[in-house]
Amino acid sequence: MRDLFDLSGKRAIVTGGAGLLGIQHARALLLKNCEVDLWDIDPKALRIAGSTLEAEFLDSSITTTTIDITSEEAVASVVQTYKDDFKSINILINNAALNPKFPNTSSSSNSQFENYSIEIWNQEISVGLTGAMLCSKHVGAYMASLGSGVIVNIASDLSVISPDQRIYKLPGVEELLQFKKPVSYSVIKTGLIGLTRFLSTYWVDNGIRANALSPGGVHDNQDPVFIQSLVSRIPMARMAEADEYIGAIQFLCSDASNYMNGQNLVIDGGRSVW
């Protein structure tokens, strides 16, 4: 039997490719012989990510593109270069996002819903949701013209549950200064599930299928108070490691999931079932 997970001859775009999970998504694809193009707005982080992967995968095709995915002109222009160079695109992973982190200080009043600014809302929506829409629009249309493709939207366990603001609470800090997970994050991740459903039917006659991956919290040297509070609400009693979504990405992007379309794969250690 052929290897259903093999991605030889395929090319994937990973947005937010220089981020914590972006580089892991790229690694997952490279492990299955896929060509990978990293897209990110941060040129320095992108160079580091590209160099890291090139050192690990010596014989693989890895390219990097500095791009602002909130600009439709920029996205359309970059996709046009693929067309001009007769390069196919087979996989799009919409991973780019702004993720407000739990701080180590108490200066967090702006994260409170009552104080949350429209400027921050617009910025975060433009990257996490509008950017995914624009990449899907232009990359998806190109893949549809080629007759096949896969779109994977990286959502979150907060696409199916509400943020539990209790896990961010610091002792000795007055309520109005406590950090809150901003409203934009839940709205963006839930919106990505709606985008996934839309895309899963829109180009289905052109061989395009779309699914979402909703990770739980990923360990990244967060505040110990936060970690302890979070893991107490996870049945597996720990956060995810960054490399624990490699198998899921390989599954969603390959023929192993060939009959899966329009779904949200939640991998959160069981948090959302409690």
Q: pLDDT per residue over 162-187, tens digit each?
A: 999 999 988 888 888 889 999 999 99
User: pLDDT at residue 28 above 60?
Assistant: yes
Q: How confident is the model at residue 107 (pLDDT cuts 50, 70, 90)?
A: very low
Can you give the three-state secondary structure of the chain, one letter per residue?
CCCCCCCCCCEEEEECCCCHHHHHHHHHHHCCCCEEEEEECCHHHHHHHHHHHHHHCCCCCEEEEECCCCCHHHHHHHHHHHHHCCCCCCEEEECCCCCCCCCCCCCCHHHCHHHCCHHHHHHHHHHHHHHHHHHHHHHHHHHHHHCCEEEEEECCHHHCCCCCHHHHCCCCCCHHHCCCCCHHHHHHHHHHHHHHHHHHHHCHHHCEEEEEEEECCECCCCCHHHHHHHHCCCCCCCCECHHHHHHHHHHHHCHHHCCCCCCEEEECCCHHHC
pLDDT computed for residue 104 by the predictor: 45
Tell me which of 2 and 151 has the higher pLDDT.
151
What topology does CATH give the domain 11-102+124-164+182-220+243-267? Rossmann fold (3.40.50)
What tens digit of pLDDT does each residue of 33-48 get?
A: 999 999 999 999 999 9
Give mean pLDDT, residues 51-73: 97
Share of the chain above pLDDT 70, in %: 96
Give mean pLDDT, residues 250-269. Answer: 98
Q: Is the model's pLDDT at 223 over the cut of 50?
A: yes
Which of 47-51, 126-130, 132-136, 180-184 has the lowest average pLDDT? 180-184
| Contact of 48 with 266, CB cutoff 8 Å | no
- Angle between helix axes 20-30 and 43-56 (nearest 10 degrees) is 30
Q: What are phi and psi of 250, to 5 degrees?
A: -60, -40
pLDDT of residue 103: 58
pLDDT at 231: 97
Residue 108 has pLDDT above 80, yes or no: no
Q: Token digits for 232?
A: 């107490």
CB atoms within 10 A of CB 232: 9
pLDDT at 105 over 50: no
Give the CA-trace dihedral at 133, 137, 143, 146, to 10 degrees: 170
Banded pLDDT at 99 (limits 50, 70, 90): confident
Query: Residue 118, Cβ neighbours under 10 Å: how many?
Result: 7
Please compute the mean of the pLDDT values over residues 257-268 and round it to a whole number: 98
Calculate mean pLDDT across residues 108-132. Answer: 92
